[in-house]
Amino acid sequence: MNVSSLSIGSLTDRPGQNEVPTNSVPAFHSVDLNAAWSFYGELPTLSVESFDFPSEVDVSFSCEFEDLHQWKPIQALPIQISQSLPKTIGFAFPEMPNWNKPDPKVESAQEKTNAVATKPKDGESHESASPPRITRMRPPGDLVRLEDRLYYVLQPPLETIVQSAKLTFPFQPFPYQMEGIAFLFPRAAAILADEMGLGKTMQAITTIRMLLLSNELSNVLLICPKPLVTNWVREFRQWAPEIPVAVIEGDSHKRHWIWNNPQAPVKIANYELMMRDRELIDDGSLQFDLVVLDEAQRIKNRNSTTSEIVRSIPRSRSWALTGTPIENSVEDLVSIFEFLSPGYLNDDMHLKSMGKATRDYVLRRTKDKVLTDMPPKLFRAADLDLTAEQRASYKSAEEEGIIQLNEMGDSLTIQHVFELVLRLKQICNFDPATGASAKLERLEADLEEVAASGQKAIIFSQWVETLDVLTEKLAKYNPLQYHGRIASHKRDGVIDQFKNDPSCKVILMSYGAGAVGLNLQFCHYVFLFDRWWNPAVEDQAINRAHRLGVKQPVTVTRMMSVDTIEQRIHDVLEEKRQLFQSLFAETGTPGNLGLSQKEIFGLFGLTLPKLQTKAA
């Protein structure tokens, strides 16, 4: 139905009602005729626009309808318009950078690239192509003021920002990474808990870059383990080359100058440095807009000095990056939240309540959910019987050890039990008398096949002494070592040599040094020569190879000596793995899944002495 004409006159009421004389229409700016027709309900909607009239005019109109004989004649429609103008509410937002105006050259090149990428294959049409993805900012649930929420809602899509000349990327981000950026950008407190290998570093750097360019931040502090400092510097050069970065290092005078250097909006410090510069941090002269903790599980012990210093840093925003927010118990997550929002969580909360309370602050994705086309991890369980020499030494050490522990009575402590556990685990690797090793025999057989196929392998152990023995036994593979005793300034060279030297088939790593911050996706075989106490640490080690950019499936071989302490610990590790999954899946409260002192004593059938009830 269309309006054919509009004339000045008067309005009358609907049929059957008194005529309402209208000599003038009160002052107004515009009338939406579609809205007026909604009074009739059963009448069709008019396809008209709003018209502007001067004040003090009479209004009438005539319409030409299609199929007019189907409708009753219309005589009048009363409209009462208020004298006062409508009230409006306005919000003043901070000026944003010129994000929504991409560089024409960049935009033209992008269009050409998209044209080639989206060219339909034979038999396909453009109609079947999926629409372009749009990622919006995700304002946190604790924003109360309307203008605060509108500020983020009205931001342009992240895909528009990516096309900007100021935010060109070396690689096209994955959609889930854009969602991670949208999650971090508006939040004052957040945990990015993506599984290792999904690019938490890139997401954090890109968000920091956007916040700096939009003038929402001007002073950022990033704290990470010492071995990862060079990695962060390298990643900033790649993902935010225009952002000046300063590493806090050197003697006390140099560090003091760097701490207060306003020319570097991003400063990187390591956890160990916090101890030495505590006095400077505590005097209140430093103030940061954002403090980011990488490998935030480092502060899981809230009573540690490092944790206390980090929590005391004056700041406006607090972010934590960790693939393992829970390593041993939910207390780890509570400790991280003491940095993000002190007092928000407590140890007594029900697991399901804790999961609900943290939902708006924690973003957790796994490879199997967001990278369905990524090559898989293939696990092999190498369950091995000890050699005759190992079995004899193991049996003797276990029997003698248990007798000694029983004789200690109430003086028995958890440290005594740990000593026996470690001694037995070392025998599972190598017989102390003869050097015999069932694991080494299996490893040598597997490495022959790996080397023959032109591949490389990573071997993890918790003992540097074990790595030393393996270096000697596996000399023909030209192995390299990477652990805490290797100087920090030499570690990057070790990784470069392993990657580029075709004669280096094996790298031997300790869990402590090799489980975080390394990119070894060119390596497709991982061997866990012995088992760590924590499944999360093992997962981190495995994900050094199974991460973005991996081209082939990663084969993981877990070596375990059957009918030994290793098998007993394995059962506990599997329970602890379920704890992590239960919290983020909100499947309810699991049982006692921590490795408590009672369970450690129970490995040898011992009774926990009185007054020893804390978790290990």
What is the spatial distance between Cα 337 and Cα 180, in angstroms, rounded to a whole number? 19
SS3 249: coil
383 and 354, same domain (yes or no): no
407: CATH: 3.40.50.300
Q: Is residue 401 part of a domain?
A: yes
What is the spatial distance between Cα 443 and Cα 463, in angstroms, rounded to a whole number? 17
386 and 345, same domain (yes or no): no
Going by pLDDT thresholds of 50, 70 and 90, the confidence category of residue 474 is very high
529 and 427, same domain (yes or no): yes
156-176 tens-digit pLDDT: 787 777 666 467 788 788 888
Average pLDDT over every residue of 284-302: 89
Q: Is residue 129 part of a domain?
A: no
Give, in order, the Cα–Cα distances in Å from 607 to each of 406, 565, 611. 9, 17, 12
127-156 tens-digit pLDDT: 334 556 788 777 777 776 777 777 777 777
Least-confidence region, from 40-44, 256-260, 322-326, 550-554: 40-44
Q: Is residue 513 part of a domain?
A: yes
pLDDT of residue 85: 56
What is the spatial distance between Cα 348 and Cα 143, in angstroms, rounded to a whole number? 27
Average pLDDT over every residue of 504-532: 83
Q: Is residue 178 part of a domain?
A: yes
N-to-C CA span, the chain: 78
Residue 454 burial by Cβ neighbours in a 10 Å radius (0-12, 13-18, 19+): exposed
pLDDT of residue 206: 92
Instruction: With residue 206 as reference, give the H or E element that holds it.
Output: helix 200-213
210 and 76, same domain (yes or no): no
334 and 423, same domain (yes or no): no
What is the spatial distance between Cα 92 and Cα 338, in angstroms, rounded to a whole number? 34
Residue 10: pLDDT above 90? no
Give, as one character, the DSSP assignment of residue 156: P
The pairing of strands 30-31 and 189-192 is unpaired
CB 217 within 8 Å of CB 208: yes
Q: Is residue 551 part of a domain?
A: yes
Residue 575 burial by Cβ neighbours in a 10 Å radius (0-12, 13-18, 19+): middle
Last residue in a domain, options 370, 405, 431: 370
User: Which residue in 565, 563, 562, 566 sits closest to 538, CA to CA?
Assistant: 566
- Burial call 141-172: b when 16+ CB within 10 Å, e when fewer: eebeeeebbebbeebbbbebbbbbeebeeeee
Give, as one character, the DSSP assignment of residue 462: S
Going by pLDDT thresholds of 50, 70 and 90, the confidence category of residue 414 is confident
521 and 459, same domain (yes or no): yes
Give, as one character, the DSSP assignment of residue 362: E
SS3 292: strand
190-248 tens-digit pLDDT: 999 987 778 899 999 999 998 998 888 999 999 998 877 888 998 899 899 999 999 99
pLDDT of residue 13: 40
Least-confidence region, from 3-17, 356-370, 487-501, 564-578: 3-17
More confident residue, 483 or 97: 483
Residue 74: pLDDT above 90? no
Going by pLDDT thresholds of 50, 70 and 90, the confidence category of residue 321 is very high
Last residue in a domain, options 88, 122, 148: 88
CB 529 within 8 Å of CB 459: yes
Residue 124: pLDDT above 80? no
357 and 396, same domain (yes or no): no
Q: Is residue 66 part of a domain?
A: yes
What is the spatial distance between Cα 356 and Cα 373, in angstroms, rounded to a whole number? 30
Q: Is residue 49 part of a domain?
A: yes
Give, as one character, the DSSP assignment of residue 311: H
Residue 512: pLDDT above 90? no
Average pLDDT over every residue of 611-615: 44
pLDDT of residue 166: 64
User: Which residue in 229, 230, 238, 224 sits closest to 322, CA to CA?
Assistant: 224
The pairing of strands 30-31 and 51-52 is antiparallel
CB 350 within 8 Å of CB 589: yes
Hey, what are 611's tokens? 């007054």
271 and 211, same domain (yes or no): yes
Tokens 């015999």, residue located? 436
pLDDT of residue 139: 75
178 and 248, same domain (yes or no): yes
424 and 532, same domain (yes or no): yes
Residue 415: pLDDT above 80? yes
What is the spatial distance between Cα 11 and Cα 559, in angstroms, rounded to a whole number? 90
What is the spatial distance between Cα 344 and Cα 338, in angstroms, rounded to a whole number? 7
Give, in order, the Cα–Cα distances in Å from 472 to each of 10, 428, 434, 467, 477. 104, 18, 15, 9, 10
141: CATH: 3.40.50.10810
Which structural domain, as residue segments, surrounds residue 23?
1-88
Average pLDDT, the chain: 75
What is the spatial distance between Cα 501 and Cα 499, in angstroms, rounded to a whole number? 6
What is the spatial distance between Cα 427 and Cα 436, in angstroms, rounded to a whole number? 9
Domain count for the chain: 3
Residue 600: pLDDT above 60? yes
58-67 tens-digit pLDDT: 555 455 555 5
Last residue in a domain, options 340, 355, 370: 370
Q: Is residue 115 part of a domain?
A: no
74 and 164, same domain (yes or no): no
225 and 307, same domain (yes or no): yes
